Each structure stands twice: as C-alpha cells, then as structure tokens.
Amino acid sequence: MSEVGVLLCDCQGAGSNLMDPVRLGADAFGDIEMIKTRHLCDPNEIARISSEMIRRGVKRLVIGACGTDYARSAVGLPLVKNGWPAQLLEFVPLVELFCGAGAAGTSAIDEERALSSVRLVLKRGIERIAARKWEPPVYRRPRRRVGIIGGGVAGLLLARCLEAAGVQAVVIERENELGGYLRKVSSLDVDGGKVEVQVVSALKERLICKEAPSRNGKLEFRTCTEAVHIKGGPGRFVISFSPDGEEEVGAVVLATGYSCEFHPEDHGLPSSGWMVSGRGPVVYSMSALEEALGRETFDNLEHFRGKKVAFVVDVSTGDSKVFTVSGLKNATRLRREFACEVYFFARDAKVSGADLESLYGAARRAGVVFVKREGSKPSITIKPTEGKAGGKALISCLLPSLGGGFMEKPLKIEVDLVCLDERLLPSVRDESLCASLEIGSGRNLRSDAMAWRPGRRAAPGSLSRFQEENVRLYTVRTAREGVWAIGGARGDQDLPESLTDASCAAMEIKEWLDGYEALASLTETDGPTKPEGDHHEEHREGGPERDIGAIGTSGSVVLFSRDGWQALVRAVVDEQKCARCLTCVRVCPHRAIKVLPFGESERRAAEVDPAACRGCGTCASACPGRAIRLTAFSDEEFLAELEVMGEYL
C-alpha cells in the first residue's frame, strides 16, 4: 500500500469534468490513493478527507488545488492542525491549468493540452513528496514566564493582559516608579470627552499600582533594576540585572520607550537665561506643560487663565507626530478650560493615526488658530516686562503665499507663554540591549539623533532601534524569535498606539508559548523539567505520548510562528560538508546559527537552533559548500520545480 495520497479540488466546478481521476489516468502515477472533492476549503470537508486518507494508510499528501499560497493557508494549516506534518504536504496549482479548458465550445485539443500539463505537474509533485526526507527538529519546553523590560504604559498593560491569560510576567523598570509617561499625562483624547481625566486616573490605578491584586499571582514588579545583558534563545532567555541578579524567561518584550530632551538652541534660544521669573515660565517644553496640566490641584493652573499661548512644533523633531498630538490635545484643553487665546505654529499637522484627524478637528472647533509656517523655524524673542513679574515672547515666522514662495512681511505675534517641541531620542538602554541580543545595524542611533539639527533630514529609523531588520514588516516582532518590541521602543508611538501594541503582543506571546510548548511535547526527549510554578497541563492533546512519526492521531499542533506555514521549515547542516567558515553565522538575520569552539561541543559543524530559525533560507543560499538545506526543500527539489515551470511555460 502506497504512503502517498492525492487530493484533487475543482473549486466547485472550476475544473469542470476534467478534474477526474479517471481522465487524469490515476493508474499512470503508480500505486497512490486519489480523492476528488468540490470544496476543499471547507473545514468539515478537510476533516472528512483527512480521516479517509488516514484510514487508507496515507502518510504523505499531494494537494492539487488553486493558487499555492492560498491553498497553504486555507487547506494546509487545517491539515497540520489535524496532525499532518507540514513537511509531508506538497501543493501543486492545478485549477489554474483547468480554468477555461472545460468550458462550452472549448476544443478537444485544448482539453488534452490542459490534461497533459496537469499530469506533468502532478507527477513531479508526487515524485518530490515520495523522495522527501522528514527530519523533525527537537524543541525544548519553554519557560512560561515573560520578561518585560520597561515599566511604562505599554509594558504595564502587557503585563496585565498576560496575567489575565494565565502567563507569568516580570516587569523590570530602572526608575523607582512605574508608569513612565502615563504618570504625566492628564487625558488621552479631547474629542467629545471620550477618554478624560477620570478614565486616565482609573487606568493609572489599574496599571501603576504594584500592590494591585494579581488574580493568578503571576505578576512581579522590579523597580530600580536595570537589564544589562540578555543571553540564550527562544524559550530560555536569561536576563542579567544591575544590581546583581538573573531571571530566566521564555520570551522577552522590549518596552523601553523613548526619552524627550529639550534643547532651547534648536529654537534659537540660548541654552540658559531664557527663563523669566514670575508665577510661571514664559517658555515650556511639551513634556513640562503635559506634566503641569496633569497635576491634580486645579488652583496651580490658574496662571494659565486668559493668557495668549503659542505652540511651536516641527522644529526639534523631524517627522514625528508625538508632539503634534500632545500640542493639539493641550491646546484644545487650554482653550476650553482656561479661555486662552491659542496659536498653533506648524509646518505640517501630522495626524497619521487613529482618531488624530478628529483631534485636529476638535482643536479647530474649540477656537485654536493654526498658522502654517514656512522655513526651518520661527524666530522667538523673549521680552521681560518692566516693573512686573513674568514676560512676553515675540514669535515671528514666514507664511506661504498663494502664488508660491513667501509673503513679503512675516507674521509677528506676541504671546504670554510659548510651548516648544523637544527631541525624541532612543532610550539609553537600547544600545546595550541591541548588542546583547545581536539585533540592529550596529549604528548608535542615539548619537545620530543627538547630532541632528533643525533643517536636516531626520535620521531614518532613529527610534525603531529594535526593528531595523524587520524584513517581514511584522508589527511588534523583531528579527529574533521570542523577542518583541512595543510602544516607544519601536517608533514614535502615541499613547493609544502603545496600548494597542501591548494588546497585540499579549495575544501573540500567548499563542507563541502555547504552540512552542505543543511542539516541545512532540519532540522533547531529555529537555528540562517543568519549571516550578507553571500550571500548564502535563499531557495536553498531542502530548509527549504521541508518536512524532504518526499522523492524523487525535489532537492538534498549534503553530507557534506567525508566518504559519513556515513554522516547521528549518535549516539543517550537513556535518560532513561544513567547513566552519562562519558565513551562515554572519548572514543569519535571526541569530539562529552558532559555531562553538572545538572542545565545547561534540559537533564539528555549525549548529542551528530550531526554535530561533524561521526557515528563510538565507543561510542555505549563502553557504559556499552547500552544506545547509531546508527540511522541506532540497536543492534538487528547487531545480525540479524550475524544470516543471520551464516545461509548462
């Protein structure tokens, strides 16, 4: 009895009467099992055919359906979750060859030509799957504990979400208080009072309070602690602390945020001496104003009432929207609550985010006057008031003309208070963490941002330090498997976007840990025992008792990689061919390959961590000795695929 089976799907009649084992000549393909269906995308139909193939003793499947990419997601993943190894499924696009060949008025010659092409493609697919070697990697059981570096709003919300999902988490914060930017903010939105002071206070109480009850006892907060080094790989990272200490975690989340630094010289002011004595300063930075408006005592804010206030953005920050959003929100609040006369100077209003356009509309409806300026920056002059405390600020800027260029006379406005934007810099921790995790390009982006001056183009990716090599453009992932970046650690995120990042990462990490553990239960031989305090089931469906060579038994394997189908495709090194030239170590974007010195390992070849490898094939293409191949695709299979394509074309 053959171990190879063929599933034919005519996409509800798209293949007409040509998608027929008899017309295809099933006997010509050898001793195989062939089943035809009309709608293989139906989960119930997949389950039925899967059971039938298992009953017939089939262990390798060739799926003849529509486009390969779609079939892998709509058909392949359900089959894998029903127990079929991903490496033993072969997809061949047949429906595209049939389309139009069986329609009314089609000649017999066209039908026979289509049948010949399908027979050729199907035959090559059967040959490939029959010759394929399946080498399942061995995974260690992951540590079901997540290390979150950064105790800001994104990190804290992620910790609470993981707690609700039953996953342990430890939050590591270098400062003596949790909350970060959330401690300063007074509101998230001003349009219609959606999220106002009361809601933000509730959010602070829920996230920042370390003494808040933990339903599962799975949260731990460590303040005045800095993560200085991270080693290990997916499932078993080790975070070193300062002061002394280590923590073993299964996954790492970088929530270090960004820092704001006020540089008066960016706005043409001297580095000192621009502050005028009085009840309040004439010049505020955006962060200082946010903190002042976030104070609980309303009486402290009375010096704002009835003042003329100007906001100036797009000077210290190149293309960031953070201070545009902060300025719009606070300008609207000053206008509504303190009857201020507010001017907003900007080159462009950056509102590329959820509900930010409505925030801009709310500011206009409240009476904020927007001034579209031109040139690198407006001129700001501080004028002390004689005989009185306080002072004035004179702002002068060029305006665009309707015919192009500038208006002849600059606009000059004298205000009581001026609020200026700041520089956004990567966290001081980012460089050491990137070095220990071996991610990023190696450029010192904080130094690049510090060297930036108004009028220059912003340094590319100056905040997304952890995602410079994010080749697949995943939202919160990094190039390292098991490492996530959220909030300000991956870009100029505003507060709502940071909260979204945290929720997204929580779902991904839970799915990743569950799937990783399922794979470990299939392949683990002598891995570590279950960590103390973990409460996962010892024998969940598809547990250790399941034979990894068997298929179709009860239970399911949840793929732990977001790129679904490629989750079980891994690089394999031929020890006889490997020359230890380190080429694979240098080119691997996921740091999944290492070469240990002689004496530290029994292997005399490069070693691939299957949990860290994502099956991208970069190492296989770069290896000069052809010592590396992917578990599902050999060089011979690629060449055969190209040959079939050439014959068909």
Tens-place pLDDT, residues 266-296:
888 876 655 544 445 688 888 888 888 776 5
Tokens representing 315 are 């000077």
Q: Using 50, 70 and 90 to split pLDDT, how confident is the model at 381?
A: confident
For residues 313 and 523, the model is more confident at: 313
Fold of 4-132: Rossmann fold (3.40.50)
- Report the pLDDT value the prediction gives residue 470, as an integer from 0 to 100: 61
Point out the least confidently predicted range of 501-515, 546-560, 625-639. Answer: 546-560
- Report the pLDDT value the prediction gives residue 21, as an integer from 0 to 100: 67
- Report the pLDDT value the prediction gives residue 505, as an integer from 0 to 100: 93
Is 263-421 in the same CATH topology as 145-260+425-511?
yes
The class level of CATH for 145-260+425-511 reads alpha beta
Which listed CATH number (3.30.70.100, 3.30.70.20, 3.40.640.10, 1.10.3720.10) goes with 569-631? 3.30.70.20
For residues 647 and 72, the model is more confident at: 72
- Report the pLDDT value the prediction gives residue 108, as an integer from 0 to 100: 58
Question: pLDDT at residue 232 above 80?
Answer: yes
- Beta carbons of 236 and 248 less than 8 angstroms apart: yes
SS3 215: coil
Residue labelled with tokens 């991956």: 490
Q: Using 50, 70 and 90 to split pLDDT, how confident is the model at 439?
A: confident
What's the pLDDT tens digit per position in 132-152?
766 666 677 889 999 999 988
Point out the least confidently predicted range of 159-163, 199-203, 538-542. Answer: 538-542
- Report the pLDDT value the prediction gives residue 109, as an integer from 0 to 100: 59
Q: Using 50, 70 and 90 to split pLDDT, how confident is the model at 593?
A: very high
Instruction: Please confirm whether the linkage preceding 610 is cis (ω < 30° from 0).
Output: no
Q: Which helix (H) or strand (E) holds 640?
A: helix 635-648
Which of 284, 614, 304 shows the shortest CA–CA distance to 477? 614
| Residue range 372-388: mean pLDDT, rounded | 73
Fold of 263-421: FAD/NAD(P)-binding domain (3.50.50)
Q: Where are the domains of the chain?
A: 4-132, 145-260+425-511, 263-421, 569-631
**Measured distance CA(371)–CA(501) in Å, rounded:** 33
pTM above 0.75, yes or no: no
For 493, phi and psi rounded to 5 degrees? -85, 140
**Measured distance CA(595)–CA(605) in Å, rounded:** 7
- Report the pLDDT value the prediction gives residue 175, as an integer from 0 to 100: 85
End-to-end CA distance of the chain: 35
